[in-house]
């Protein structure tokens, strides 16, 4: 049946039309599928403890890992620097995936180029791809810096990025003094947070070379880590400004990932200036706002720059207090009264919502720093973590998480599930249900199966708009976290009490 051009239907309604229903029914004869009763029987069995034991026994298969691969984190770090074009030494399909993944989260165009390695490069190496790719990128897109990372193909065949970049400069692809930092980011090891760390170290080592001075510039450096909330970069800049602090944010991608619509496309929105990044070697200290996505970078800063570093993860009251006290300690500046008032408002908001979150059992998945911070905040609210799943876990994270859980009476019954995936989480939620789940968009399939409400916190969030624009750090971030959590619980209460004369005895106007 032809569609009426004056009434175009969204796919939500379109595929329920009779012709599509018939089309899907006709397809079944070619699919060799089981009858509906058998599908339903097996689906019910997958909710059991028997299936959970078999699910957790698998070793050779991963189903929906709660992580991404290294190059995604690398190009995310790169765009935080002024005029920087990410360049991926690998196949076109890989970089297209990274760009589309970030674009779907931010609803913003994400620029990145590829050396478009194919079968020839897999046999003979990707040197010529690098020479041609850097030349084309420099001439077409006019960047101030090109940051190079790799995919699996380039790593498997052993492409030497430093040698390739030197050869490309000798061939005239880019000027000799043009900055081309690089990072080896094989996708078959590590994750997106490893890629972020590798690229951040590569960029800083390139830009700061030869810029060490005898005296400090009096600044404090902040490294956000793989933090996908653009509101957090703006919040840390606001906090620093309230202090009157001279600082450098390494790297500030907030305008790149949340640029104003002025009617003209700007390929390189405002970001950390290259000269400021070069001078970061002369700062008083560097504060990382994440730990596990900045490990190699902090080691490099301490060893090569001879500069002290600290990790302050300003989520919740305790984490924010620690950051403000560290800034005050390093700078000698008092904590501004405005921030003290914000703390009071955050505590007041926590008091308002406390009775609704206290005692609630929750499960969570995500990368190490995010999970640590959210669990810390939830413990402050009296919520009880049950399942803590981190696919890209490590020994350091597990030790610090166990210490955090032991510090609160609400964390004593939690179980860590390192290296597990979201299909494992599904079994956990069926066999040991919780009151709510915290995670990214991929958790919506768990919500659909288990009916356990999902609080969307993390990356990516592709099925809801604008959450990435908010802050989750600082005292103002606390109110946003409260908002998302407690109102998700209220929505669930309303869903469970909305049948007139049956369940609506608590279908209330006031919560």
SS3 of 35, please? coil
Angle at CA of residue 210, ends 209 and 211, nearest 5°: 95
Give helix 368-380 / helix 474-495 axis angle, nearest 10°: 80
> Which positions ≥6 away from 167 have C-beta within 8 Å?
127, 130, 131
Give helix 70-78 / helix 192-208 axis angle, nearest 10°: 40
How far is the C-alpha of 301 from the C-alpha of 337, rounded, in Å? 32
How far is the C-alpha of 6 from the C-alpha of 341, rounded, in Å? 55
In terms of Cα–Cα distance, which of 217, 222, 292, 208 is closest to 250? Answer: 222
Structural contact between residues 354 and 381, judged by C-beta atoms closer than 8 angstroms: yes
How far is the C-alpha of 402 from the C-alpha of 189, rounded, in Å? 25
Angle at CA of residue 283, ends 195 and 238, nearest 5°: 75
Catalytic annotation present for 69: no
Catalytic annotation present for 149: no
Q: What number of other Cβ atoms are within 10 A of residue 303's Cβ?
A: 9
Angle at CA of residue 346, ends 342 and 348, nearest 5°: 115
DSSP letter (8 states) at residue 272: B
> Which positions ≥6 away from 475 have C-beta within 8 Å?
317, 320, 339, 342, 343, 345, 346
In SS3 terms, 99-138 reads as HHHHHHHHCCCCCCEECCCCHHHHHHCCHHHHHHHHHHHH
Distances (CA, A) of 66 to 425, 438, 460: 10, 12, 10
Q: Rg for the chain (alpha carbons), in Å? A: 25
Residue 496 has, within 13 A of its CA and on its CB side, a CA count of: 9
Q: Which of 39, 156, 189, 396 is catalytic?
A: 156
How far is the C-alpha of 322 from the C-alpha of 304, rounded, in Å? 26
Q: Which helix (H) or strand (E) holds 371?
A: helix 368-380
Q: Which of 79, 95, 149, 152 is catalytic?
A: 152
Beta-bridge partners for 147: 86
How far is the C-alpha of 352 from the C-alpha of 1, rounded, in Å? 55
- The residues annotated with a catalytic role in the active site are 152, 156
């Amino acid at each position: 049946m032809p569609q009426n051009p004056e009434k175009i239907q969204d796919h939500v309604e379109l595929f329920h039309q009779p012709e599509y229903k018939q089309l899907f029914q006709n397809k079944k004869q070619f699919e060799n599928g089981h009858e509906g009763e058998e599908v339903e029987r097996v689906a019910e069995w997958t909710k059991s403890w028997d299936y959970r034991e078999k699910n957790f026994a698998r070793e050779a298969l991963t189903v929906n890992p709660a992580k991404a691969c290294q190059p995604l984190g690398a190009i995310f770090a790169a765009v935080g620097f002024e005029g920087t074009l990410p360049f991926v030494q690998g196949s076109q399909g890989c970089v297209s995936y990274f760009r589309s993944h970030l674009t779907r989260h931010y609803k913003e165009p994400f620029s990145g180029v590829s050396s478009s390695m194919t079968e020839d490069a897999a046999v003979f190496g990707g040197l010529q791809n690098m020479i041609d790719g850097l030349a084309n990128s420099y001439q077409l897109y006019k960047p101030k810096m090109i940051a190079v990372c790799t995919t699996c193909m380039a790593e498997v065949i052993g492409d030497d990025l430093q040698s390739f970049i030197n050869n490309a400069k000798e061939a005239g692809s880019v000027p000799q003094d043009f900055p081309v930092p690089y990072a080896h980011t094989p996708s078959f090891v590590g994750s997106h947070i490893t890629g972020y760390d590798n690229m951040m170290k590569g960029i800083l080592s390139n830009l700061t070379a030869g810029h060490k001075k005898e005296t400090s510039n009096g600044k404090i450096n902040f490294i956000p880590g793989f933090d996908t909330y653009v509101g957090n970069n703006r919040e840390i800049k606001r906090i620093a400004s309230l202090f009157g602090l001279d600082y450098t944010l390494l790297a500030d991608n907030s305008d790149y990932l949340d640029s104003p619509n002025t009617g003209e496309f700007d390929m390189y929105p405002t970001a950390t200036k290259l000269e400021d990044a070069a001078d970061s070697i002369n700062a008083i200290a560097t504060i990382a706002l994440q730990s596990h996505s900045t490990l190699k970078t902090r080691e490099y800063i301490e060893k090569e720059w001879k500069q002290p570093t600290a990790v302050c993860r300003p989520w919740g009251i305790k984490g924010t207090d620690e950051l403000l006290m560290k800034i005050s300690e390093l700078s000698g500046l008092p904590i501004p009264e405005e921030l003290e008032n914000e703390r009071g408002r955050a505590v007041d908001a926590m008091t308002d919502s406390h009775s609704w979150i206290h005692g609630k059992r929750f499960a969570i998945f995500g990368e190490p720093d995010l999970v640590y911070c959210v669990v810390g905040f939830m413990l402050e609210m009296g919520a009880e973590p049950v399942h803590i799943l981190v696919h890209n876990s490590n020994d350091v994270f597990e030790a610090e998480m166990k210490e955090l859980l032991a510090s609160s009476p609400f964390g004593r019954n939690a179980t860590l599930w390192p290296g597990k995936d979201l299909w494992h989480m599904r079994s956990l939620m069926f066999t040991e249900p919780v009151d709510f789940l915290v995670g990214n968009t991929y958790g919506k399939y768990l919500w659909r199966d288990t009916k356990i409400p999902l609080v969307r916190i993390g990356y990516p969030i592709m099925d809801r708009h604008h959450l990435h624009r908010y802050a989750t750090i600082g005292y103002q971030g606390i109110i946003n976290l409260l908002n998302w959590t407690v109102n998700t619980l209220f929505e669930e209460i309303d869903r469970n009490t909305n049948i007139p004369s049956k369940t609506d005895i608590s279908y209330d106007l006031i919560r």
